[in-house]
Amino acid sequence: MTREEQLLAAMVDAVDTLVDDFDLIDFLHQLCDRCNALLDISAVGVMLADPTGKLQLIAASNEHTRLLELFALQTEQGPCVECHRHGTALLNIALKSPQETAAFPRFAERARATGFATTHALPMRLRRQSVGALSLFDSREQKLGDSDARVAQALADVATIAILQHRSVVHGNIERAQLRAALSSRILIEQAKGILAERWQSTLGEAFDALRHHARAHQQSLAGLCKQLIDGSIEPSAIQRP
C-alpha cells in the first residue's frame, strides 16, 4: 500500500472500535506495525495508564523492545514515562547524549545496549484526558522529520480516540474493566508464547507472530487462542509455524 492508503487503513482500524468484539491488544499491535511501516523506524512500544494513572506496557513490536519498556516501568524513567507525565512529545532524543538523556540515564544505557541510537515519545491524549504514550525507537542516528512527526502524532491521536470511543460505547466503567482484561490477556499471551517457543525451540517473537496469524485466520481473539493453548484445548501442532 502507498503511505496514504496505510494512513487511511489506520483510520478504518479506529472506526472498527465501534463493534462489540473489538480486540484492544491486537489493535495496538496493529498500531505498532503501522508505525514501523510508515515511519521507517526499528521498533515501537505502547503504554496505557491504569485507573490509578500508572503506566502499563500493553504492546511492543518485538521482544527486545518489550523488555526495554518493562525496564522503563520498573525504574520509572524513560521518554515514555516523561512524555505521559508532562503530556508533551519528546522527539529526536540521541541516546548517546548525556544532555538529552539526563532525566533517564539508566534507560538510555539499557536502550543503547539493546541496539537503539535514537528514540521518540508521543502522548496519547485527547484534550485533558491522557490514556498513555507511544514510543518509537531507531537503531540509526536519524532524526524524525517534521512530516513524519506529524504522522506519528496522528497515529497516536487515532489510537487515543479509538480507545476512548470504545470505552464509551461499551459502558461508562469500561476503563477499569478493559485495562484489567488487557493485562490479564497479556499474561495469557506471554505464557502461550513461552509454550510455543519451548516446543519449537524458537524465539518468543516467532511464537507471537504465529499466534497472531492463527487467531486472525480463524477469526478468534488472541487471548482466547492463548487460553486454549495453555489449558490444552488446542495442541501446539495446530499452530502453523511461520
Q: What is the pLDDT of residues 132-149, one digit of tens each?
A: 999 999 999 999 999 899
Query: Percentage of the chain with pLDDT > 90?
Result: 58
**pLDDT level of residue 213 (50, 70, 90 thresholds):** very high
Instruction: Note whether 81 and 98 are within 8 A (CB).
Output: no
Cβ-count burial of 221 within 10 angstroms (0-12 exposed, 13-18 middle, 19+ buried)?
middle
Q: Can you give the pTM of this predicted structure?
A: 0.74
Listed residue (106, 32, 40, 27) closest to 68, CA to CA: 106
Domains and CATH numbers, the chain: 3-170 (3.30.450.40), 183-238 (1.10.10)
Q: Which residues of 148-186 are buried (b: 16+ CB within 10 A; e: fewer)?
A: bbebbbebbbbbbbbbbbbbeeeeeebbeebbeebeebb
pLDDT for the residue numbered 184? 83
Calculated CA dihedral for residues 140, 146, 147, 153, nearest 10 degrees: 90
Of residues 126 and 132, the one with the higher pLDDT is: 132
Tell me what pLDDT residue 181 has. 78
Query: In Å, how far are 40, 56, 72, 120 from 77, measured between CA atoms?
Result: 25, 13, 5, 14
**Helical (H) or strand (E) element with 149:** helix 146-170
* DSSP element (H, E) containing 92: strand 90-94
Q: What is the mean pLDDT of residues 213-232?
A: 92
Rounded Cα–Cα distance for residues 226 and 10 (Å): 26
Higher pLDDT, 23 or 206: 206
**Residue 211 grid cell:** 499466534
Per-residue pLDDT band at 170 (split at 50, 70, 90): low
Q: What value does the mean pLDDT take over residues 84-90?
A: 92
Residue 153 has pLDDT above 80, yes or no: yes
The whole-number average pLDDT for the span 82-100 is 94
pLDDT of residue 25: 85
Q: What number is the average pLDDT over the span 44-60?
A: 91
pLDDT at 2 exceeding the cut of 90: no
Q: Per-residue pLDDT for 92 more than 60?
A: yes
